[in-house]
Amino acid sequence: MFEEFGTVSRVSIATDRETGNQRGFGFVEMAVDSEGDRAIEVLSGKELNGRALTVNEARPKAERGSGGSRQSNRW
């Protein structure tokens, strides 16, 4: 689908770590930024397999805290 707009460098489909099932989104890297911009413009909102696509530029993942739960000592 994205090759219509230019050279696709890489595709990664997100899957659930435990089940291996697809999570319903993925990442497509285009070789040329302007080709990716055009794909975003044309494909966002288009329907695929009965679902509207949301196509946008990936944003950096938000930083998470150090993890774990906080414990309080309440008496």
Q: What is the pLDDT along the chain (75 residues), one digit of tens a residue?
A: 999 999 999 999 999 999 999 999 999 999 999 999 999 999 999 999 999 999 999 888 888 766 555 554 444
Pairing label, strands 47-48, 22-30 = unpaired
Here the CATH number for the domain that contains residue 37 is 3.30.70.330
Residue 30 CB neighbour total at 10 angstroms: 20
Give residues with Cβ within 8 angstroms of 36, minimum separation 6.
5, 6, 28, 29, 30, 57
Q: Is residue 43 part of a domain?
A: yes
Q: Is residue 32 part of a domain?
A: yes
Contact 33, 70 (CB under 8 A): no
Q: Is residue 71 part of a domain?
A: no
User: How many domains does the chain contain in total?
Assistant: 1
Q: Is residue 67 part of a domain?
A: no
H/E stretch holding 8:
strand 8-15
Would you state the pLDDT for residue 74? 46
Would you state the pLDDT for residue 75? 44
Residue 31 is part of which domain span? 2-52
